[in-house]
A and B are shown apart, each in its own frame.
Chain A
Amino acid sequence: MYSILSKKVLNPNVTQMEIEAPLVAKKAKPGQFIILRVDDEGERIPLTVAGVDPERGAVKIIFQIVGKTTFVLGQKEAGDSIADFVGPLGRPTEMEGLKKVCIVGGGVGCAIALPVAEEMHRQGIEVTSIIGFRSVDLLILEDEFRACSDKLIVMTDDGSYARQGNVTVPLKEMLEAGERFDLVLAIGPGVMMKFTALTAKPYGVPCRVSMNPIMIDGTGMCGGCRLTLVKEDGTKVTKFACVDGPEFDAYEIDFDEAMSRGRMYIPEEKHAYDEACNLFKQAKA
């Protein structure tokens, strides 16, 4: 069992927890992920590491409540524990040789982008961050991003806070104005990453994205997390997000396929979520 050391509700849908997992805390680097199971009957879900505190053996995770597993996890409190927690999995973000980077975070993807931005900042890389949310109610980690970014642009889709529009708008403006980045790193929903890539491409700036496909073991066994990369000459290559990723060249990813695969179990997920919510309501009543 793995103890929950702390819990903080960041917004009505997003919760932060620290889990006691000393071996993972010692090893995890920005860009890597873990897999957890809440209880013995539970599914295995991948979550990207949002930070570590090796001294306390703590691994920070930030998750959006989207289905049964995250709902049940969100009901847990500090002092409770979860059944399984394994990692760090995947490859860390490559930072070598970078001098100036634009980090684009969308929604809860900002939680994954933050440790990358922090580490880059620590290494002296110039960091411009663009973080976007549907509305002000869903805003998270603004102060944290401000602390590690040379420049921070906050966007809301509905204009309820900061600037209105999606994250590609300021990115395009900067690139159009002649700003040169060694890398644009986009982390967020599939459609947001797809359009960030489409925005960046005409400017010849390297762009990477962090993919989060459905996964079971996370160690290179099941093949469920496979993605199609389309090389420049048109050849297609199958890669596995768990061992080859989760970060990939944004210009090679077949986003439409990845997003379609991500929706494979929507009816089952919705059913499980509704059941979990009902059980919870009954227990409370």
Chain B
Amino acid sequence: MALDPKKHEMPSQAPEVRAHNFNEVALGYTAELAVAEANRCLNCKNKPCIAGCPVNIDIPAFLQLAKTGDFEGAYQVINKTSSLPAVCGRVCPQETQCESKCTMGIRFEPVGIGRVERFVADWHNANATEKAKAPAPNGHRVAIVGSGPSGLTCAGDLAKKGYAVTIFEALHKAGGVLVYGIPEFRLPKAIVGKEVETLKELGVDLQTNVVIGKTLTIDELFEDGYEAVFVGSGAGLPNFMNIPGESFKGVYSANEFLTRNNLMKAYNADPDTPVMKGGKVIVVGGGNVAMDAARTALRLGAEKVSIVYRRSMEELPARREEVEHAIEEGIDFQLLRNPVEILGYKNPDNPRDERNGFVIGARIQEMELGEPDAKGRRRPVPIPGAIYEMEADTVIIAIGTSPNPLIKDTTEGLEVNSHGGFVVNEDGLTSRKGIYAGGDAVTGAATVISAMGAGKVAAKAIDEYLSGK
């Protein structure tokens, strides 16, 4: 049988249709497509894909089972190392991880590993009848701070080993960035809800509305009898550019804009939590969060959405598929551009004009790529005099976050680095005995899968620490 040089295409909603709804863009493979795509795996000897996966899923093994139509078997292989397969199949940047190492990829397109992973996870969720069972308790208690990808993973791994695990979530709903940050059209919230339910079946206790560092401190958790704590408190406060005009009405951090939509459902008709809709929208930044914000603004009814990014298309840090989807949907890319001022309305004759203080645009500086920086990325430098104005009714700033200070400020002896991230060793152990950390709270804004990887590493270390105790 001749090998298909290309990945089987992902069935998707047409761009002109999906630009107006919040339903998932990618519809998922059919069983036939999943088998056909799995058949593209050469089952090569050295299996480089496994090393490309932050949690080292045995990719060839699950693909071999998927080839035969044993989707439950394939799911079980993934489930051994990944606690959130339906999530990762959707949001992992496979092109820089497993698929970038695929042997097929040397001459052809790599195997669509993420797409098959997504299919088998969805197949399992739709067809599996057996509920997860809580194992016999081993008598140890562990507290998890935050219910994002690292916390959920750490909780799941420990619960499977018999630990009594409590997750403390600051918001009213579990899932962290998976519910407040990543939009419905990329990751349906029902999928996150399902993963959380599975953890509860494993015996994990979920306490929402508890802010660790405020409602309870880490030290109080130890006093309460928890023997180890994993901190997966997430990325934290949004960064702003420190340019004039960032406090005009209609300027949002991406965190706020996305939280209003995803967690608080501002896209519904007559929502209790409003968000500015329509008009012209500028999104500053080039990561996944910027793409999510831009595509959300489009779906809310914007007439034009522009991504303003200071480097060029090659350096865009967002997941390839999201950039492609954004382009297909008609998002405008203003590359090698950087805002230097946000402009607001001011009626000189009427201080009570209700439009006063709302955004009307931005002054944009054209950039060119200069010498490479320490990381080897060519640094954008302003082209003297090349400044123009863009109109905007909403400006969304998606240029990253800085770690949340609440836990650092209330936990003595917990070391942080110069960026405010927790200092951890290779096991995720912080400078304090029994306190582990992982995910964005350590690395700064990164990916779901790397946070999961950190949760996994910490779970293993916590198990070794407590079982040896």
B residues less than 8 Å from A119 (CB atoms): none
Q: Which residue of B lies closest to A269 (CB)?
A: B274
Give Cα A43 to B75, complex, Å. Answer: 38
- B447 interface residue (CB < 8 Å to A): no
- B356 interface residue (CB < 8 Å to A): yes
- B210 interface residue (CB < 8 Å to A): yes
Q: How large is the interface on B (under 10, 10 to 19, 20 to 34, 35 or more residues)?
A: 35 or more
**Chain B 195-232 interface residues, beta-carbon cutoff 8 Å to A:** 208-211, 214-216
Q: Are the C-beta atoms of B273 and A238 separated by less than 8 Å?
A: no
Q: What's the tally of chain A residues with a CB closer than 8 Å to chain B?
A: 43
State whether A223 and B208 are in contact (beta carbons under 8 Å apart), knowing that A23-B215, A86-B215, A243-B404 are contacts in the complex: no
B residues less than 8 Å from A37 (CB atoms): 172
Q: Are the C-beta atoms of B215 and A223 separated by less than 8 Å?
A: no
Q: Are the C-beta atoms of B249 and A261 separated by less than 8 Å?
A: yes
Give Cα A100 to B170, complex, Å. Answer: 37
Q: Which DSSP category, helix, strand, loop or mixed, fits chain A's interface? A: mixed
Selecting from A135-143, A149-157, A213-221, the interface stretch reads: A213-221
- In the complex, which of the residues A220, A260, A264, A268 contacts B236, with contact meaning CB atoms closer than 8 Å? A220
Query: Within the complex, what minimum Cβ distance (angstroms) separates B93 from chain A?
Result: 23
User: How would residues 228 to 254 of chain B score, 1 for a CB under 8 Å from any chain A CB and 0 otherwise?
Assistant: 000000111110101000110110110
Q: Are the C-beta atoms of B259 and A217 separated by less than 8 Å?
A: yes
Give Cα A27 to B273, complex, Å. Answer: 28
Q: Are the C-beta atoms of A68 and B272 separated by less than 8 Å?
A: yes
Query: Within the complex, what minimum Cβ distance (angstroms) separates B271 from chain A?
Result: 8
Q: Are the C-beta atoms of A219 and B272 separated by less than 8 Å?
A: no
- B354 interface residue (CB < 8 Å to A): yes
- A222 interface residue (CB < 8 Å to B): yes
Query: Within the complex, what minimum Cβ distance (angstroms) separates A88 from chain B?
Result: 6
Give Cα A260 to B171, complex, Å. Answer: 27
State whether A86 and B172 are in contact (beta carbons under 8 Å apart), knowing that A41-B272, A223-B237, A226-B247 are contacts in the complex: yes
A residues less than 8 Å from B210 (CB atoms): 23, 86
Give Cα A260 to B352, complex, Å. Answer: 10
Q: Which residue of A lies closest to B216 (CB)?
A: A23
Query: Within the complex, what minimum Cβ distance (angstroms) separates B215 from chain A?
Result: 5
Q: Which DSSP category, helix, strand, loop or mixed, fits chain B's interface? A: loop
Q: Are the C-beta atoms of A243 and B406 separated by less than 8 Å?
A: yes
A residues less than 8 Å from B322 (CB atoms): none
- In the complex, which of the residues B252, B273, B356, B404 contacts A221, with contact meaning CB atoms closer than 8 Å? B404
Q: Which residue of A lies closest to B404 (CB)?
A: A220
User: How would residues 71 to 109 of chain A score, 1 for a CB under 8 Å from any chain B CB and 0 otherwise?
Assistant: 000000000000111111100000000000000000000
- B405 interface residue (CB < 8 Å to A): yes
A residues less than 8 Å from B171 (CB atoms): 217, 219
User: How would residues 251 to 263 of chain A score, 1 for a CB under 8 Å from any chain B CB and 0 otherwise?
Assistant: 0001001001101
Query: Within the complex, what minimum Cβ distance (angstroms) separates B442 from chain A?
Result: 17
Give Cα A263 to B215, complex, Å. Answer: 30
State whether A226 and B240 are in contact (beta carbons under 8 Å apart), knowing that A87-B211, A238-B246 are contacts in the complex: yes
Give Cα A222 to B123, complex, Å. Answer: 35
Give Cα A85 to B171, complex, Å. Answer: 10
Q: Are the C-beta atoms of B406 and A219 separated by less than 8 Å?
A: yes
Query: Within the complex, what minimum Cβ distance (angstroms) separates A46 from chain B?
Result: 13
B residues less than 8 Å from A86 (CB atoms): 170, 172, 209-211, 215
Q: Are the C-beta atoms of A240 and B273 separated by less than 8 Å?
A: no
A residues less than 8 Å from B274 (CB atoms): 265, 268-269, 272
Query: Within the complex, what minimum Cβ distance (angstroms) separates A244 from chain B?
Result: 9
Give Cα A217 to B216, complex, Å. Answer: 17
Q: Are the C-beta atoms of A216 and B238 separated by less than 8 Å?
A: no
**Chain A 181-234 interface residues, beta-carbon cutoff 8 Å to B:** 216-217, 219-224, 226, 228
A residues less than 8 Å from B272 (CB atoms): 41-43, 68-69, 272
B residues less than 8 Å from A177 (CB atoms): none
**Chain B 72-94 interface residues, beta-carbon cutoff 8 Å to A:** none
**Chain B 252-300 interface residues, beta-carbon cutoff 8 Å to A:** 252-253, 255-256, 259-260, 263-265, 270, 272-274
- In the complex, which of the residues A44, A222, A238 contacts B256, with contact meaning CB atoms closer than 8 Å? A222
Q: Are the C-beta atoms of A257 and B238 separated by less than 8 Å?
A: no
B residues less than 8 Å from A176 (CB atoms): none
Q: Are the C-beta atoms of B249 and A260 separated by less than 8 Å?
A: yes
Q: Are the C-beta atoms of A217 and B209 separated by less than 8 Å?
A: no
Q: Are the C-beta atoms of B256 and A216 separated by less than 8 Å?
A: yes
B residues less than 8 Å from A223 (CB atoms): 237-238, 240, 252-253, 255-256
Write the residues of chain B forming the contact surface with A, with a CB cutoff of 8 angstroms.
170-172, 180, 208-211, 214-216, 234-238, 240, 242, 246-247, 249-250, 252-253, 255-256, 259-260, 263-265, 270, 272-274, 354, 356-357, 404-406
Given contacts A217-B170, A222-B238, A243-B404, 17 further A-B contacts (CB under 8 A): A42-B272, A88-B215, A217-B259, A219-B211, A219-B406, A221-B234, A221-B235, A221-B259, A222-B253, A223-B253, A223-B256, A228-B247, A238-B240, A240-B237, A257-B247, A263-B249, A275-B270
Task: Sort A-B residue pairs by CB-CB distance and give the 10 closest, nearest first.
Answer: A223-B253, A268-B274, A86-B209, A260-B357, A222-B256, A223-B238, A43-B272, A84-B172, A264-B249, A43-B273
A-B contact pairs, 27 of them (CB 8 A): A23-B215, A41-B265, A41-B272, A42-B272, A43-B273, A84-B172, A84-B209, A86-B211, A87-B211, A89-B214, A217-B170, A217-B171, A221-B237, A222-B259, A223-B252, A224-B252, A240-B237, A257-B247, A260-B357, A261-B249, A263-B357, A264-B249, A265-B274, A266-B354, A271-B270, A272-B270, A275-B270
